[in-house]
Amino acid sequence: MGRLYSLSYMTLETSPPKMIEFAAEAGYDLAGIRMMPTLPGGQAFPLMNDPAMLRETLLRIDDTGVKVLDVEIARIDGVSGVELWLPMLEASAKVGARTIVVAGDDPDGARMTETYGLLCDAAAPFGLTINLEFTPWTTLNNAATASRIVTEAARANGEMLIDLIHVARSKTTLADIAAIDPTRMSYFQICDAPPGIPASREELLFTARQERLLPGEGGVDVAGIIAALPDNLIVSVEVPSHSRLAAMGPSEWSKLTLETCRAFMDELDAARTTRPTRAAG
């Protein structure tokens, strides 16, 4: 079976029914949706509070066959607790989602690990995994720390999510990526970005949230990072580009992102499978 591809929420930033619709039109297998904002006041589509949109989303899933991969986002900030996320977990189960994306921004590492574990426990009855993601501008800012939290929490449904731009713009090495327990990963997010690490938080956020590049267009070691990952992961295409989305429209941008990322991955996967095996000595 070939790679599965998911249209990440940030690539289009539209409602769940529209995400499913555009994903199907472009040829994606899966899609991501956002039910809770990354920050207070940010855009989100809380299906747990909108029965009409929930019904519409379910109809789109049934009509197209496109499933929901991930639901965003639970933010562990040292203040919020599991009770805040329970309605999202229930709604996520209703739409058949596989996983919840979690951001870690609690300055107390032990408390962040504890909260993460409790969230895994709450998600387990719904059949959901919990994917912990690191970002360079938050407390949880590298892969090694994220991997340690997932390992120390020791929950069967605990996973971690690798986003290529965050690897490139953090103190994360290829060795850190290769050291992650492969059973703790089910998918990764692909994109590219200009070379180097921006000096300011504002520039980090601008590129990550508004103007990423397609694989091969920038300076990220996309091939190297992917080579350090397990070879059976789902590919989530997370390429927010407000300029190209505005110029092309969501339908054409969805198609271009999938075509480009699939071609890139096909080339990498072909090289991986034809690479000579080193003889035993």
What is the CATH number for 237? 3.20.20.150
Q: Is residue 151 included in any domain, yes or no?
A: yes
User: Residue 149's closest CA among 164, 129, 134?
Assistant: 134
Residue 58 within any structural domain of the chain: yes
Look at residue 280 and tell me if it is in a domain. no
Is residue 278 situated within a structural domain?
Answer: no
pLDDT (mean) for 245-264:
98
The structural domain count of the chain equals: 1
Predicted confidence band of residue 280 (pLDDT cuts 50, 70, 90): very low
217 and 192 Cβ atoms separated by less than 8 Å: yes
pLDDT at residue 272 is higher than 90: no
- Angle formed by the axes of helices 16-26 and 51-64, to 10°? 10
The per-residue pLDDT of the chain, averaged, comes to 95
pLDDT single digits (tens) 71-87: 999 999 999 999 999 99
Residue 22 placed within a domain: yes
By the 10 Å C-beta count (0-12 exposed, 13-18 middle, 19+ buried), 221 is classed as middle
Domain limits at 171? Answer: 5-243+250-272
Mean local confidence (pLDDT), 166-195: 96
Determine, yes or no, domain membership for 277: no
Residue-wise burial string across 245-274, b where 16 or more C-beta atoms lie within 10 A, e elsewhere: beeeebeebbbbbbebbbebbeebeeeeee
SS3 35: coil
Q: How confident is the model at residue 275 (pLDDT cuts 50, 70, 90)?
A: low
pLDDT of residue 159: 98
